[in-house]
Structure 1
């Protein structure tokens, strides 16, 4: 596993480990403003306000997971030398023994599925990233003398082991024995995760006032426009891409319709008569309001270059076909509508910076 691959995956895996401790960062998809794509007849929509990759910790891949139950031996298995130093975080060593305790339940989780070498490397990369990121945040938390009570740790342990028992169809004792774990070992690492989580949470809080200040200073980023379009689709009724000859015919047709629109013919009537976007054609091609970055790039660039009431003077091609575009309005998204997602986005930015700074301070080195 190369160091480059490790860096490329550094944040990606952590987002998958957030569920248990309820820290949602980049990406909190359910709070993003995402328009619904209406099949081939609608413009391809991108996510708005992408949030920074979520940083940190829950029990995650090491002790938790699994869809199937009751199996004895996994199809994939790989052991790691217990004495090998897999990674270092400052003076702290992560050994092959620690890594085994994280990976073995994961291999068991796969059941009868035989993992490819690439899949194994991905799991290894994600796991070691999780472990090193956890350690740097834990060390940062220790420097601030953060802790959690034994009662809190015990409660977390009980909840976790209860979930594991149902997931793996094993009792607590069976699970611990199966994966060469002890109650104290699991409690110790759960407590470490809780402390790291507490550090990250307390240092990444964003107030409503902070979010409002950001909104006011960056208001242009929250500009929305409305537009209508006429689509000549490059797909047939079976959603298959048409031939090049048919595309040429479509291009000639859309050019004729564009000339009529620029000459003053009713855009609404032209959309009703010619647009293949059946979702919008009956409403004059109205796409409603959208932010910059939501539409496919060429469509987006053309629409945002127009003045209200203006028709783009050229045919715009996207993966859906050929478009005629008219800008119909503009406005700014209201702060109250964005407040919650903006707070989460700014908090996630802080989380990303916290992790980056901790990685630099405590010097992570991966030896795989």
Structure 2
């Protein structure tokens, strides 16, 4: 926990990265540096259609067109059997040829980085997840008579070509020739994806009334607590854990400070004198936070307190030992929560819908 950053800043340090995201990140190497945590949705590729065809096209161009200007071969590659079936969606197969065209750009974009088998497998699964999800959602959209106009497809096609020309300097004719495609075949792929996305969006809309009803029935979810703390760290400045002996000394120090606070000494003054968190300059004040914002041990203690009450024991987290006082509480208003609540409820609907559709079409990713 750096001394010049507040607990509420640089929240990305505690983001949990999914290995299913487009950029594989080895989360074992990420050090915890902040008390404040951020919840990030997992399984993005599976749960929402986030790899658009336009994005894939740009990756492919970056791969193939990049080679033509001498960027060299990637350090990592893998050859998939063209006729082998890697996944199925009902009676539709995803073959090695299709998977190869999606994986090659990823390998190329890694440049000189040699990927491990685990990293390759993780991204491979993510890509198959994407491909099968689009196929299943398209099938269900057609079954529900979802359609789009030729004008919508034409507009998306023109936008795609404009992006290609802007980013890579390739004209429409150059692109189609490079990939041995026709305007008709590309528009067919764009149409398929647009129909799938349209069905997903239209089927998972959330009204303001739905959000209001949820808020009214679950108001405790929107309780915010304000607390201050004093931190005695159990890690060094690089985030490495202290020895058992040093940790025991830290705990004893924290317990002595807790006694001072319980005996009536001013909490803010104690925080300014002893706390090893950057919030010390603010008297340990962390501001308001909701359930799910803080690490579990800290949150459990803070939410159990009454206003002005100090927690009876020092609280241990990965960051060290905390002395905690609750200073206030309030409920977020519906207007404050409306936008994020509608988004969350829609996301939950998307999860349910996609899971149901994948089950309906017996989607299977082969081992």
TM-score w.r.t. structure 1 length?
0.80
Secondary structure in 1 matching 2:66: coil
Contact 2:19–2:123 (8 Å) recurs in 1: no
1:176-198 Cα deviation digits (max 9, x unpaired): 44444333222111110000010
Aligned equivalent of 1:332: 331
Secondary structure in 2 matching 1:280: helix
- Greater alpha carbon shift after TM alignment, 263-272 vs 216-225: 263-272
Secondary structure in 2 matching 1:276: coil
Aligned equivalent of 2:67: 71
- Tell me if 1:249 matches 2:243: no
Secondary structure in 2 matching 1:70: helix
Q: Which runs of 5+ in 1 are unaligned?
A: 1-10, 18-38
TM-score w.r.t. structure 2 length?
0.80
Instruction: After TM superposition, list the pairs within 5 Å mapping 1:143-154 onto structure 2.
Output: 143-154=143-154
Aligned equivalent of 1:353: 352
Query: CA shift at 1:59, angstroms?
Result: 1.3
- Tell me if 1:185 matches 2:181: no
Are residues 280 and 120 of structure 1, via their aligned partners in 2, closer, same or farther at CA, if it must alter by over 3 Å? closer
- Tell me if 1:47 matches 2:38: yes
Secondary structure in 2 matching 1:327: strand
Are residues 170 and 79 of structure 1, via their aligned partners in 2, closer, same or farther at CA, if it must alter by over 3 Å? farther
Instruction: After TM superposition, list the pairs within 5 Å mapping 1:1-368 onto structure 2.
Output: 13=20, 44-47=35-38, 53=44, 54-57=47-50, 58-59=52-53, 62-65=56-59, 70-72=66-68, 74-75=73-74, 76-236=76-236, 241-277=241-277, 279-368=278-367
1:91-122 Cα deviation digits (max 9, x unpaired): 22333333333334444444555444333323
Query: CA shift at 1:302, angstroms?
Result: 1.2
Secondary structure in 1 matching 2:330: strand
Are residues 162 and 107 of structure 1, via their aligned partners in 2, closer, same or farther at CA, if it must alter by over 3 Å? farther
Secondary structure in 2 matching 1:141: helix
Secondary structure in 2 matching 1:346: helix
Contact 2:226–2:327 (8 Å) recurs in 1: yes
The 2-side partners of 1:339 and 1:330 are apart by: 20
The 2-side partners of 1:110 and 1:355 are apart by: 31
Are residues 121 and 236 of structure 1, via their aligned partners in 2, closer, same or farther at CA, if it must alter by over 3 Å? closer
Contact 2:22–2:123 (8 Å) recurs in 1: no
Aligned equivalent of 1:23: none
Contact 2:225–2:329 (8 Å) recurs in 1: yes
Query: CA shift at 1:48, angstroms?
Result: 5.5
Are residues 327 and 217 of structure 1, via their aligned partners in 2, closer, same or farther at CA, if it must alter by over 3 Å? same
Are residues 320 and 47 of structure 1, via their aligned partners in 2, closer, same or farther at CA, if it must alter by over 3 Å? same
Aligned equivalent of 1:27: none
Q: Which runs of 5+ in 2 are unaligned?
A: 1-17, 24-31
The 1-side partners of 2:40 and 2:77 are apart by: 40
